[in-house]
Amino acid sequence: MTRLRICYVLATAAAGTGYHAAMLADGADARGMSVAVFGPSATLTRFFPGAQAPADPDSPDGQEAGDGPAAGPGRGIRFGAVEIADRPRPGRDASSARRLRRLLATEDPQVVHAHGTRAGAFAALALGPRGRGPAGLVPALVVTMHNAPPRGLAAGLVYRGLERVAARRADAVLCASPDLAGRMRRLGARGVERAVVPAPAAAPPTAADVDRARADLGAGDRPVVLAVGRLAEQKGFGVLLAAARAWQQRDPRPLVAIAGEGPLAGELAAAAQRHGTDVRFLGARRDVPALLAAADLVVVPSRWEARALIVQEALLAGRPVVASRVGGIPELTGEDAALLVPAGDAGALSAAVQAVLDDPALAARLAAAARARGAGLPSAADAVDAALAVYERLAAEPRLRA
């Protein structure tokens, strides 16, 4: 395989987007590619432990620094800080786009791979119109779409404008779910393909790991209903709390455990206390595989998901799943490996959970189907193979060179 020059561009990223971009960058680096990663300092340090990058002088706490990327210790990957936030900041955004353009010119890439709508739009602006590039090259632009538009009129309008910029400038648009692929085609994107977005590899928990997780939950003989994700509106945990109110009279009473942190942490805790719902908020956890093994079922009440990592992790762990019928979830689970309910319907969610708890045979069928589905999920190596195939194809096209 040709040694390609690849630049990855990230905005402020949630777990799924950040882990996926880091997986591809690490995989490309391991296969001998020339790799640079540009994004906000906090994103780089979260998903690339040990990453060192010159500060972005346009950020609020930036220091004077050169524009050249810096390599992280023990890696061939080079890093550069560009503060691409998750919300519009007109003045700073213009400065960040200029900085990204300078960093790309320094790297002279053949392929730029941006992750997410804002990163894709910034990369498109930094590269300029199709047919021109910052250093005499015409790099291919690949954009992976991970998420649907945010709720709210103003935010949705801004997001759609950025989507259109990314869709029409990109040479390839990789989409994490079928609905995103359809959306990008309607916006005029060329070369729309499905993104291969696997869950991060994790070693199976030991029996001792599972015992510790179960003891930490303090559930005793009670069934454990586990949810994992960022405490944000998209994840629908308020719906889960509403559904759990119907379980409080069961004997034994199920324990609802939610692993994650986020902006709604205080609001959700207050709601649980106000309604007397028995919920254990676990915060950020590094032992999710053990928690999955300790749980009786996994609930994913999201308002929308693409290739939800927790759904993939639950399938790989062979756990019964109750989830919203939204985005890419039905494609992951099929009709046999989960009970799927309408998003936002607390009554349907409650009934589905209680059906699993009341019927051991149903729980066993869901678990067996989950294991079968999990065995067919793609790996990190599959994701890297797929991405590199796209890069090779685009880099070979003569139009990419000035």
Query: 296: Cβ–Cβ under 8 A, 6 or more apart, which residues?
Result: 223, 224, 225, 254, 320, 356, 357, 363
d(CA 266, CA 298): 23
pLDDT value of residue 364: 98
Mind listing the pLDDT tens digit for each residue in 323-348? Answer: 999 999 999 999 999 999 999 999 99
Considering only residues 10 and 1, tell me which one the structure prediction assigns the higher pLDDT. Answer: 10
Total count of domains within the chain: 2
237 pLDDT above the threshold of 50: yes
For residues 182 and 221, state if they share a domain. no
Query: Do both 228 and 352 map to the same domain?
Result: yes
Strand ranges of the sheet holding 172-175, from the earlier edge strand across to the other edge: 70-71, 78-81, 34-39, 5-10, 111-115, 140-145, 172-175, 192-194
Looking at per-residue pLDDT, the higher value among 277 and 368 belongs to 368
Same-domain status, 152 and 39? yes
Q: Assess whether 184 and 54 both reside in one domain.
A: yes
Q: Which residue has the tokens 């801004």?
A: 158
| Lowest mean pLDDT across 36-45, 152-161, 297-306 | 152-161
pLDDT, position 369: 98
Same domain flag for 233 and 159: no
In eight-state DSSP terms, residue 220 is T
Mean pLDDT to the nearest integer, 7-23: 90
**Residue-wise pLDDT tens digits, 31-74:** 999 999 999 999 999 899 877 666 666 665 543 345 566 665 55
CATH of the domain at 282: 3.40.50.2000
- 401 pLDDT band (50/70/90 cuts)? very low
Compute φ and ψ for 343, nearest 5 degrees: -60, 140
Kindly state whether residues 371 and 388 are assigned to the same domain: no
Which pLDDT score, from 0 to 100, does residue 63 have? 39
Res. 365: pLDDT tops 80: yes
Position 60 scores a pLDDT of 54
Instruction: Judge if 27 and 118 occupy the same domain.
Output: yes
Same domain, 148 and 231: no
What number of CA atoms fall less than 13 Å from residue 228's CA on the CB side? 23
Q: Quick one: 235 and 342 in the same domain? A: yes
pLDDT of res. 70: 63
Question: Over 90: is that where the pLDDT of 235 sits?
Answer: yes
Q: What is the DSSP letter of 3?
A: -
The band of 200, judged by pLDDT with boundaries at 50, 70 and 90, is confident
Domain that holds residue 179: 5-198+380-400
CA nearest to 119, candidates 20, 249, 197, 237:
20
pLDDT tens for each residue of 83-103: 998 777 767 888 899 999 999
Kindly write down the DSSP assignment for every residue of 254-297, as one continuous string.
PEEEEEB--TTHHHHHHHHHHTT--EEEEES-S-HHHHHHH-SE
- pLDDT above 70 covers a percentage of the chain that reads 89
C-alpha closest to that of 242 among 208, 276, 212, 211: 276
- Looking at the fold, whether 119 and 263 belong to one and the same domain comes out as no
**Exposed e or buried b per residue across 171-203, where buried means at least 16 C-beta atoms within 10 angstroms of its C-beta:** bbbbbbbebbbebbeebebeebbbbbbbbeeee
